[in-house]
Amino acid sequence: MLLLGDAGERVVEHIAAELPRVEAWLGHAADDEAAYDRAREALAAAILRAAEHRRAAGNPGAVDLLDPLLRAVDAGQMDDQALIDEIVMMLVTHVPTAAASAWALYELARRPEVRRDLEEELDAIGARGAEVERAPLLSAVVLEALRLHPPVWVLAREARREFLHGPHAVSAGNEVLVSPYVMQRLPQYWKNPESFLPERFVPGSPWHVERPPPAYIPFGLGMRKCIGERTAILQMKLMLAALVRDFRFELPAGYEAGAFGQRPLVPRDGLPLLVERRKRAGRRDRDHEVAR
């Protein structure tokens, strides 16, 4: 029986397999169309079962993602396939979002002064739900993590017409690979490009300068820019706010994460973090654990 989590991962892998040449360079196997079809069917069936269960329960006071979507279906504003498509889009965004959030925790552990400033910001505003939109440093941490560690590190596009790129002639129909990972570390656009500096995204900071749009493309650019951008950024804000507010993350002595160019970009050997519950007003417990 195909588990729902496995189905979600298979769908993400299929979407990412739109880069066949890159996959060949990395030595990955070609995408399994049959496995993708099974995963897609499993996801669709699970979503429809959840919808039927919610309707059968009478929807007693439910306030979540499914509730407004079901109301739209019942009102004739969307059909079951649109319902499935909306929820699948939400599900597949969790994989790159989780990877980027892990990188953000890694960078915060490397810069404890930024972590402390972020803790103070979150403590001051509460940072629950909509409050995350009033946390400028949190937003800057998310954007800088996406700059240094874009989950989708390479994009493929087809040239619609012939053009010259420097000394290289590109013919119409050629596949062009664009790497956010490379673009977002170019020294002509980013001072100290290898450093984690959320200040780059704080208006008024000396590090905050105007750059051409192609210099920052973690979600792509133009008409084919990822439609899940706002959702992914909000998910990262909510996740990091909850974690940083209640826990403190540190790296084992001497640990340096190496990037592994798979889908999405993840730490090569996982990300071991030492986790300590923060001491805050009204809290006495200090649970310690090691999380990987």
Q: pLDDT tens for residues 226-285?
A: 888 888 899 999 999 999 999 999 999 989 888 765 667 888 778 899 999 998 654 444
The mean pLDDT of the chain is 82
Q: How many CB atoms lie within 10 A of CB 61?
A: 6
Residue 87 labelled as part of a binding site: no
Q: What is the pLDDT of residue 291?
A: 43
Q: For the ranges 103-107, 113-117, 193-197, 234-238, which has the lowest average pLDDT?
A: 234-238
CATH of 94-291, one of 1.10.630.10, 1.10.490.10, 3.40.250.10, 3.30.1020.10: 1.10.630.10
Give the torsion sign (CA, 217, 220, 222, 225).
negative
Q: Which is higher by pLDDT, 117 or 50?
A: 117
pTM for this entry: 0.75
Rounded Cα gap, residues 9 and 18, in angstroms: 15
Average pLDDT over residues 37-52: 87
Spatial CB neighbours of 123, under 8 Å, sequence gap ≥ 6: 245, 280
CA angle 211, 212, 215 (to 5 degrees): 85
**Nearest alpha-carbon partner for 273 in 245, 246, 253:** 253
Residue 217: the pLDDT is 96
Would you say residue 16 has pLDDT above 80?
no
Residues 84, 129 contacting (CB under 8 angstroms): no
Q: Which phi and psi (to 5°) does residue 250 adopt?
A: -130, 155
- Domain borders along the chain are 4-92, 94-291
Nearest to 263 by CA among 19, 67, 44, 87: 19
146-159 tens-digit pLDDT: 999 999 888 888 99
Note the pLDDT of residue 289.
Answer: 41
Token digits of residue 122: 């979150």
Task: Provide the pLDDT confidence category of residue 43 given band limits of 50, 70 and 90.
Answer: confident
Tokens of 20: 């066949």
The average pLDDT across 21-30 equals: 43
**How far is 159 from 174, CA to CA, in rounded Å?**
5
pLDDT of 273: 93
How wide is the angle at C-alpha 117 spanned by C-alphas 112 and 121, nearest 5°?
145
Residue 271: Cβ within 10 Å count: 19
Residue 8 has pLDDT above 70, yes or no: no
Residue 160 scores a pLDDT above 70: yes
Whether pLDDT at 1 is above 80: no
